[in-house]
Amino acid sequence: MKRIVSGAYVANKSITLQHDLSGQEITTDLAPAQGGGGKSFSPTDLLATALGSCMATLGGIAAEREGLSLAGSRIEVEKRVDYQDVAGGATPKIQGFVVTFRLPKSLTERQRQAIERGVATCPVTHALRPEVEVTTHYAYDL
């Protein structure tokens, strides 16, 4: 298996990571509820980001197969986390995600179904533990 990311612990619960192929860097920081500064994406924010970008990418691929472009479409990802007992040292537990797509209202029913089927093939969704609920909403209002 080939490494794709490398990183270093900076300080104060902050990690800098580098994507090996592109060289791009990101820094993570824990949420204030976990003792971090909240100055960047937290690791669980990156999971939400991976889920949303994966779903949107696969929806876009499905749209392209239909001869469509989803340029200008929007996605929102809400992360639901149980922070109970975090002060006592417990790790927050991700309960689920709500993903909302805002897509063109001009799409036909067949095109909508093709895009929704594409979104459903996201491997990030399938990699999550079964108890992590992913709810997907589609608003055809653009």
- The rounded average pLDDT for each run of 10 residues, N- to C-terminus, in the chain (142 residues) is 89 91 94 85 94 97 95 96 69 92 96 97 96 97 94
Question: What is residue 12's predicted lDDT score, i.e. its pLDDT?
Answer: 82
pLDDT at residue number 90: 64
pLDDT of residue 34: 78
Query: Up-side HSE of residue 55: CA atoms within 13 Å toward CB?
Result: 28
Q: What is the pLDDT of residue 27?
A: 94
CA distances from 43 to 36, 47, 66, 88, 100 (A): 12, 7, 35, 20, 21
The C-alpha atoms of residue 61 and residue 105 are separated, in whole angstroms, by 18
User: What pLDDT is recorded for position 85?
Assistant: 65
**Contact assessment for residue 59 and residue 96, using Cβ atoms and an 8 Å cutoff:** no
Q: In the prediction, which pLDDT does 22 show?
A: 95
CATH superfamily assigned to domain 42-140: K homology (KH) domain (3.30.300.20)
> pTM of this prediction?
0.89
In this predicted structure, what is the pLDDT of residue 86?
57
